[in-house]
Amino acid sequence: MSGDTQPPLITIVGPTAVGKTEIAIQLAEKLDGEIVSADSRLFYQGMDIGTAKPTLDQRQRVPHHLIDISTPDHMWSLALFQAEARRAIASIHSRQRLPFLVGGTGQYIHAVIEGWQVPAVEPHPKLRQALEDWAAQISPVGLHSRLAILDPKAAQRIDPRNLRRSVRALEVILSTGRLFSEQRQRSPGLYHSLMIGLNRPRDELYARVDTRIDSMLENGLVEEVRTLLGCGYAPDLPTLSAIGYRQIIAYLLGKISLEEAIVQIKRQTRVFVRRQANWFKPDDPNIHWFNVTSVTVEQIESFIRNWL
Radius of gyration of the chain (CA): 20
**What is the pTM (predicted TM-score) of this model?**
0.83
Is 220 strand, coil or helix?
Answer: coil
Taking the domains of the chain in order of start, what are their residue ranges? 8-118+186-307, 125-183
The most confident of 110-124, 137-151, 251-265, by mean pLDDT = 251-265
Tell me, what's the pLDDT at 120?
59
Pure H helices in 54-200: 56-61, 78-94, 106-113, 125-138, 140-150, 152-156, 163-176
**Nearest-angstrom CA–CA distance, 24 and 144:** 35
Q: Which fold has domain 8-118+186-307?
A: Rossmann fold (3.40.50)
Long-range contacts of 268-273 (CB under 8 A, 24+ apart): 268/161, 268/243, 269/16, 269/17, 269/209, 269/213, 269/243, 269/244, 270/206, 270/209, 271/159, 272/16, 272/159, 272/243, 273/15, 273/16, 273/17, 273/205, 273/206, 273/209
Partners of 174 in beta bridges:
none
158-184 per-position pLDDT tens digit: 888 888 888 888 888 888 778 877 766
Average pLDDT over residues 118-129: 73
- State which fold the 125-183 domain adopts: Histone, subunit A (1.10.20)
